[in-house]
Structure 1
């Protein structure tokens, strides 16, 4: 698999590239945002994907990594994994809202990073999106979830969700009031059983609560998982 590594530190990039090469990846190194976009743009214009995954550092010298992620996402659906020292929840949510598929905090274990790369590439190869159950729409109080078009609205106003946020909401909304175990959600939405995805699930739940402006809509069942609490009509 070809992989685009966006990292301004040449020493870090060289060490990581060597590890990735030993695991069968063909690595292209971009030292800043401009180089990254130049690497992605030609193939994106032709409707092809030159890279299986993009590893994106946020602390770039020419522009913020968040901006680069947003631009890449407008050009291609290639999975983006943010690799950064910014570990707070707000930064994670912001990155995922911009279209990142995963978020790894430095310092990280190389085995964990490799597992995440393989996880996002498997999801892409298997069709990327979790297919919601059949039906035209789900209505839960002020919330409307249109399954065929993957649109969500609250009181008639559209709410922009990422792919995984929609998949998560659609899954919970299929059976309001029913508790979904964390392992079940991770299996169905992220198509993996890897325990490291648990933190990503928490961030997506927090983001959904914020975007829908309904903190009580998704209830945390401690030690088990989550359930959707249907609001009053």
Structure 2
């Protein structure tokens, strides 16, 4: 029999953010996020976030669509440690249970990253894992995920794919990793997805065109969901003939396969 003095646990909501973070475009949120997602986010006063400043900016935009349940000044926002969102938290080395105390006290709690879905190419998996371990219900809300948008629009294999994060920055190591991933993609049919820091987009494209075989297909999605969205998918041979359409200041997703 449950103890009536023990508060019922709140839920952990995974709140997606628009993909325009760091861009000069801030379109209407309802163009990319369902009203139900925005309403659920507006009802939360407790947050775990990657960056409190950008989280508050996002909450202000939500308030323009649907009123927040309390003022932003009253919100309780706790940032993930810098080491977690710089190095990732999927290894299990970071214990996030203390961040979930509001949910243990009966409050619903939101998890948010800079763009897209938390814990997908972004930090947050340690918080989700800790929620499961503590018996806290996890509720993923609907919103854009750049990896899946790029994959869906690439023409590459969407039945078998892998996200491999960042490739090495060292040119020699990066070239070796590109050839390794290409071999895997050609042998298994598995699409390989990866990302890069925006200001290194062009260097990544040049490395891919240098090391990939002519018939390998390369797709790049940039600025997705924005007015200036770009998604090009073609053979490496044809990529080499193109005037580069890649923006070196906008996050991009790279995909390769056949």
Please state which band the TM-score falls in when normalised by the shorter chain. Answer: under 0.3
Which of the two has higher C-alpha Rg? 2
Return the TM-score normalized by structure 1. Answer: 0.25
More contact order relative to length (CA 8 Å, sep ≥ 6): 2
Normalized per residue, which structure has more helix? 1
